[in-house]
C-alpha cells in the first residue's frame, strides 16, 4: 500500500521538476503587479478543478489579497461581471481543449485582462490562443486507467498554492495583516500567543 503513495510522490516530483522557473517567476510578477495596482486574481476551472481554485482563493483572501473564483461554465450566465479591467484570470484545464474553457478565453480576450493558462498539454487550442502558459508534464494520473483527474489536480493545487506563497513573499506580507484576518480558531489562538 505504501508503495502506491511512493509511486505517486515520484509522479508529482517528476511534474514539479518540469516547471519552467522563468515563466513561474513572471507569473508571480504579473500577479503581484495586478494586486499592487488594486486589481484582483481570478481563478477559473471546471469539475475537479473547482475546489482547487477555491482553495487558492481562500488562501489569498486569508492573507488579505483580492481574489475570487469564476466557474468556467457559469461565466457566460452573468458571472463574468466579476471580471474587471486589469484583473488577472488564471484558467485551469488539463487538455486545453474543453469547449467551455475555449469559449471563456475568447470572451475574456475582448476585455483588458491578463490571462494565464495552467495546463498539461503543450499543443492545444488554448496554448495557441493564450500568451501566458504554464505547461506541466504529467506521466500518469495515478488511477487504474490514467483517466481520473487525480495527480493533475494535485499538481494544480501545488502550483496555485506556490503562487500564493510567492505573492505573499514578494509583497512582504506582514504577520499583523494575517493576524487581523484570523481572530478565531486554532490559528487565531496561536497568533495571539506567538505574535
pLDDT at 17: 98
pLDDT one-digit tens code per residue, 130-170? 999 999 999 999 999 999 999 999 999 999 999 999 999 99
> Whole domain around residue 121: which residue ranges?
1-138+147-194
Say what the pTM is: 0.96
Q: Which residues neighbour 136 within 8 Å (Cβ) at sequence distance 6 or greater?
A: 15, 18, 19, 118, 119, 120, 155, 159
Residue written as grid cell 487525480: 150
pLDDT at 170: 97
pLDDT at 179: 87
| Ranges of the chain with pLDDT below 50 | none
Q: Which residues neighbour 120 within 8 Å (Cβ) at sequence distance 6 or greater?
A: 94, 95, 135, 136, 137, 138, 152, 155
Give me the CATH number covering residue 43: 3.40.50.10490
Q: How many domains are there within the chain?
A: 1
pLDDT at 46: 96
pLDDT at 194: 87
Amino acid at each position: 500500500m505504501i508503495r502506491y503513495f511512493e509511486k505517486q510522490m515520484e509522479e508529482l516530483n517528476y511534474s514539479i521538476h518540469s516547471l519552467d522557473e522563468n515563466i513561474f517567476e513572471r507569473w508571480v510578477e504579473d500577479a503581484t503587479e495586478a494586486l499592487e495596482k488594486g486589481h484582483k486574481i481570478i481563478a477559473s476551472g471546471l469539475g475537479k478543478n473547482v475546489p482547487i481554485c477555491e482553495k487558492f482563493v481562500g488562501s489569498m483572501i486569508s492573507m488579505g489579497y483580492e481574489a475570487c473564483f469564476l466557474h468556467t461554465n457559469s461565466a457566460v450566465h452573468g458571472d463574468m461581471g466579476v471580471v474587471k479591467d486589469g484583473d488577472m484570470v488564471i484558467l485551469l484545464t488539463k487538455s486545453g481543449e474543453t469547449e467551455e474553457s475555449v469559449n471563456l478565453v475568447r470572451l475574456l480576450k475582448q476585455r483588458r485582462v491578463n490571462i494565464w493558462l495552467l495546463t498539461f498539454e503543450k499543443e492545444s487550442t488554448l496554448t495557441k490562443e493564450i500568451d501566458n502558459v504554464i505547461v506541466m508534464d504529467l506521466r500518469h494520473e495515478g488511477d487504474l486507467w490514467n483517466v481520473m483527474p487525480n495527480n493533475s489536480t494535485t499538481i494544480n493545487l501545488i502550483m496555485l498554492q506556490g503562487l500564493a506563497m510567492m505573492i505573499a513573499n514578494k509583497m512582504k506580507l506582514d504577520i499583523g495583516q494575517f493576524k487581523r484576518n484570523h481572530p478565531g480558531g486554532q490559528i487565531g489562538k496561536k497568533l495571539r500567543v506567538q505574535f
